[in-house]
């Protein structure tokens, strides 16, 4: 009986295959899936114009039509990853000051994410609406609590305690001693009264306001209307900040730019709150972006906001995935699955592609799409960047900007703890797919709202200091490499760079070898 059943089974299988008259097997891509470590750049002619000072790293963040300018252009091709252990408001402020952009992590409550966005937008501006205000009848205890809550040391004292009430005075940290003055001391007793303030009348230009600040050697200039009502503050630190950080990424109101991560579940509730907070661009955070969920999310954004809200999509690793998201209306597309240092998606699911191969394939499709439609959709290389020269390779292969997690997690500005381990300082760094983050929305495949298994790990990375110090060195390396390639802009790098594959022995040859290295001081 058993033999007869087996024979019937194989007869039915044969009938099935014969009826289809097709080959029933997976589509095999014979091309080897390669990483950045397998490539090197070949020098081009370095002309006298190819000096680091002449290199321009500006690059589009969002799509644009041929002959037009993108709505957002980065001054440096860097974005910090949408991760709990990387991108909060502090990272966003630091990176925007240096020309890049952060996407504040979305695996938190809508309210807390919106507050982080709001903090970035209010950090720096030409004309700042006062968010820290009290009445003259408030106490020193109120001042201290407000400073701790808001983070602001300059407090406007208005008749009714509002941001646009009649200005009666100003309180800064120089007006009181928190450990010696009584907590119930009234603000009116120690504030700088209006009669002693240097103020300016609205309307006034930002340049005129900065001149008043500079000529009077003050840190904050209140701007009032004809009725003495407070309208804005202009701060000296904002003027100094721009001089110190010439690449800082600003909007039309001189505020820092900031992005935010979203998911394909609660976007209808999350996006309006982020927009209200002032977010400049949003990006769907998913390990696999080739999905109808992402198409539906983009459609919702277009139906409710048109083109005013810029939304990135991804991640994908091939031409088909890019084309799907570009046609759905994505403003940029992230490329990369499983290449991050804390990502184990390839290990767990067998899904992904070597990052170099993925970028080359998607970039070619991006260019074909541009040629066919006249719309240029930037691509972001996300993951797989270990060495600084890998960044140049990714840009030369077609990436418009780079998203990194491990790189930024090492810095003071990342939100994680600095810990001493075996005599060396480390920073905590965990993936969104780890049990610690439990960001199930990022790995959502529909169905039950749970995370069934890990796709990321919990780890440490060596502490590296301040973002600005490290990013300056990285940018110097990129500019120097571009000069060796004979180019001074990223479009020139894409068009003219020469890249070669490297053998395993060639990789060994590229490092220090056949010598005994001296111990280096940490």
What residues are labeled active site?
A: 343, 442
Nearest Cα to 82, choosing from 303, 322, 343, 308? 343
Segment holding 230, helix H or strand E: strand 230-235
**Which phi-psi region, left, alpha or beta, contains residue 384 (left: φ > 0; alpha: ψ -120 to 50)?**
left
Q: How many CB atoms lie within 10 A of CB 169?
A: 22
SS3 190: helix
SS3 375: strand
Angle at 310 between CA 309 and CA 315, to 5 degrees: 140
Tell me the C-alpha distance between 183 and 163, whole Å: 24
36 DSSP assignment:
G
Tell me the C-alpha distance between 300 and 298, whole Å: 5
Q: Distances from the Cα of 64 to the Cαs of 17, 292, 308, 493, in angstroms?
A: 48, 24, 13, 20
Which of 310-330 are b and which e, b meaning 16 or more Cβ less than 10 Å from the residue's Cβ? bbbbbbbbbbebbbbbbebbb
Query: Are the beta carbons of 188 and 170 closer than 8 angstroms?
Result: no
Residue ranges of alpha helices (H) inside 333-466 are 345-349, 355-373, 388-396, 406-409
Strand partners, 79: 101, 403
Q: Calculate the dihedral angle through the C-alpha atoms of 216, 217, 221, 224, rounding to the nearest 10 degrees.
A: -10
Strand partners, 128: 233
Tell me the C-alpha distance between 123 and 116, whole Å: 11
Query: Are the beta carbons of 147 and 131 closer than 8 angstroms?
Result: no
């Amino acid at each position: 009986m058993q033999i007869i059943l087996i024979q019937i089974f194989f007869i039915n299988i044969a009938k099935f295959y014969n009826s289809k008259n097709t080959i029933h097997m997976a589509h095999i891509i014979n091309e080897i899936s390669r990483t950045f470590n397998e490539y090197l750049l070949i020098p081009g002619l370095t002309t006298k114009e190819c000096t680091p000072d002449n290199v321009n790293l500006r690059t589009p963040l969002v799509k644009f039509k041929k002959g037009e300018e993108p709505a957002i252009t980065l001054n440096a091709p860097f974005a910090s990853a949408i991760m709990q252990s990387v991108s909060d408001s502090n990272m966003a402020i630091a990176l925007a000051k240096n020309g890049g952009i952060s996407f504040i992590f979305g695996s938190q409550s809508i309210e807390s994410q919106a507050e982080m966005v709001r903090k970035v937008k209010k950090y720096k501006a030409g004309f700042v609406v006062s968010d820290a205000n009290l009445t003259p009848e408030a106490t020193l205890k109120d001042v201290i609590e407000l400073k701790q809550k808001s983070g602001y040391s300059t407090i406007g004292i208005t008749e009714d305690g509002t941001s646009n009430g009649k200005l009666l005075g100003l309180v800064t940290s120089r007006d009181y001693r928190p450990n010696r003055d009584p907590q119930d001391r009234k603000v009116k007793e120690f504030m700088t009264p209006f009669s002693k303030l240097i103020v300016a009348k609205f309307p006034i230009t930002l340049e005129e306001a900065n001149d008043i600040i500079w000529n009077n050697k003050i840190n904050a200039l209140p701007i009032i209307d004809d009725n003495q009502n407070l309208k804005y503050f202009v701060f000296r630190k904002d003027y100094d900040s721009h001089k110190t950080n010439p690449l800082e990424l600003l909007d039309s109101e001189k505020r820092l730019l900031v992005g935010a991560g979203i998911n394909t579940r609660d976007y209808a509730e999350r996006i309006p709150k982020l927009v209200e907070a002032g977010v400049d661009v949003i990006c769907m955070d998913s390990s696999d972006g080739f999905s109808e969920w992402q198409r539906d999310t983009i459609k919702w954004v277009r139906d409710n906001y048109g083109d005013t809200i810029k939304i990135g999509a991804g991640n994908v690793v091939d031409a088909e995935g890019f084309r799907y998201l570009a046609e759905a209306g994505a403003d940029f597309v992230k490329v990369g699955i499983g290449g991050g240092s804390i990502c184990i998606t390839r290990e767990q699911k067998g899904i992904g592609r070597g990052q170099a191969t993925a970028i080359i394939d998607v970039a070619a499709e991006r260019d074909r799409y541009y040629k066919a439609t006249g719309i240029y959709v930037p691509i972001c290389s996300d993951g797989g960047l270990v060495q600084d020269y890998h960044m140049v390779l990714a840009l030369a292969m077609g990436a418009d900007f780079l998203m990194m997690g491990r790189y930024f997690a090492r810095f003071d500005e990342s939100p994680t703890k600095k810990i001493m381990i075996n005599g060396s300082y480390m920073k905590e760094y965990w993936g969104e797919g780890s049990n610690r983050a439990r960001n199930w929305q990022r790995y959502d495949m529909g169905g039950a709202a749970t995370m069934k298994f890990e796709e990321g790990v919990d780890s440490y990375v060596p502490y590296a200091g301040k973002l600005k110090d490290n990013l300056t060195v990285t940018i110097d390396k990129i500019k120097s490499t571009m000069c060796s390639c004979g180019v001074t802009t990223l479009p020139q790098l894409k068009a003219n760079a020469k890249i070669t594959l490297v053998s395993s022995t060639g990789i060994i040859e590229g490092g220090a070898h056949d010598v005994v290295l001296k111990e280096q001081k940490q």
